[in-house]
Amino acid sequence: MTQRRPLFGFSLKRRQVKPTAAMFVDFEHWCYSLDRIYGMRPKVKEQYDEIAERFDIKKIFFFGDFSNPKLQSEIRGIREITDSIIDTQNPSPVIKKDFTDFIMLDYIYQEADDNPNISTYILFTGDGHFSSVVRYLQLKKKKKVIVYGVRGAVSNKFRAVASECIEIPREDQERQYFYKLILENFNHINSKNDKKIFPTFNSTVKAVSSYFSVAENNVRTALQELMEMGVIYKTSDRAATGNLVRVLRVDWNKAEQSGLITTKNKV
């Protein structure tokens, strides 16, 4: 019996082609806003990998005054994905404001003229000053412009003109971050094996907030959620005086089952 060929030729599935993209990162916005609002550090490689799932990133540039220690400490992480790090340190003692923006804008306009085959421009910033270049790319160059920015630090004007606006951290990323800090604190207590440490709810909030320089409200909310999950629970322990004290403890097995830690992280 002869085998029929498909009516419209071969039925092979075509490999999905990702849109080409150029990415411009205002690292000052990313680093400073994330730290100021959430007490978090950029996860450069993780964020890049997430974006690269959607786009074929042909070029990526990081802009910032890397003479600042906070930005300088992140250079190693940036170099995992690119060497295109544009130091925008301004040598002039007079003109200081928006120097990074001016340089970043110049690179965007040049790229739009020099590489017409790029279909998507990804601007990682929250500054409304970039609204005009977004319109230029969309109307004059017929490009799609996607804005990535730190949640709570993206201009409404800027968000409105973009083809798409994606804000980070996502709520789940933010929660996971604070869960990790709290568990690191308990892991540290366990490693010290100090019988005099009796972690309570309030003392844990203050310790994590102080050591990691994050807001107490964020730690308090995350700790309450961990307790509702059963990862952290209340129990009684006996102090040196013989009195029973209500303390917090971690169920490390539940923490591992929840994906918050791996076996090698446990003490």
Q: Break the chain down into helix, strand, coil percent, rounded to 5.
A: 45, 20, 35
Q: Is 87 exposed, middle or buried (0-12, 13-18, 19+ CB in 10 A)?
A: middle
Pairing of the two strands 244-250 and 232-238: antiparallel
Task: Report pLDDT for 258.
Answer: 83
Q: How far is it, in rounded angstroms, from Cα 64 to Cα 53?
A: 25
pLDDT in tens, 194-244: 667 889 999 999 999 998 878 888 899 999 999 999 999 999 887 767 778
pTM: 0.73
Mean pLDDT, residues 73-90: 93
Contact at 8 Å (CB) between 151 and 169?
yes
**What is the pLDDT at residue 231?**
95
Q: Is the pLDDT of residue 265 over 80?
A: no
Helix (H) or strand (E) holding 143: none
Tell me, what's the pLDDT at 264?
42
Please, what are the domains in the chain? 20-169 (3.40.50.1010), 173-265 (1.10.10.10)
Q: Is the peptide bond before 19 cis (omega within 30 degrees of 0)?
A: no
Say how many CA atoms lie within 13 Å of 266 toward its Cβ: 13
* Distance of alpha carbon 95 from the chain centroid: 31
Closest CA to 219 of 40, 30, 28, 22: 40
Model confidence pLDDT, tens digit, residues 26-71: 999 999 999 888 878 898 999 999 999 999 999 999 999 999 999 9
Q: pLDDT digit string (tens) for 162-205? A: 999 999 998 888 888 899 899 999 988 887 766 678 899 999 99
Tell me the per-residue pLDDT of 22-35, one tens digit each, with 9 for 90 and over: 999 999 999 999 98
What pLDDT score does 10 carry?
A: 47
Cα 120 to Cα 140: distance, rounded to the nearest angstrom = 14
- Mean pLDDT value across residues 85-105: 78
Higher model confidence: residue 86 or residue 198? 86
* Token pair listed for 63: 């802009």
pLDDT of res. 222: 93
Quick one: average pLDDT of 16-21?
A: 91
pLDDT bin (cut points 50, 70, 90) of residue 8 is very low
The model's pLDDT over 98-146, given as tens digits with 9 standing for 90+, comes to 788 999 999 999 999 999 999 999 999 998 889 999 999 999 999 999 9
Q: What is the distance in angstroms between the CA of the first residue and the CA of the last residue of the chain?
A: 67
22 versus 96: the higher-pLDDT residue is 22
Confidence band, pLDDT 50/70/90 cuts, at residue 3: low
The C-alpha angle with vertex 136 and arms to 130 and 140, in degrees rounded to 5, equals 170
State the average pLDDT for the chain.
Answer: 87
Token pair for 25: 């990162």
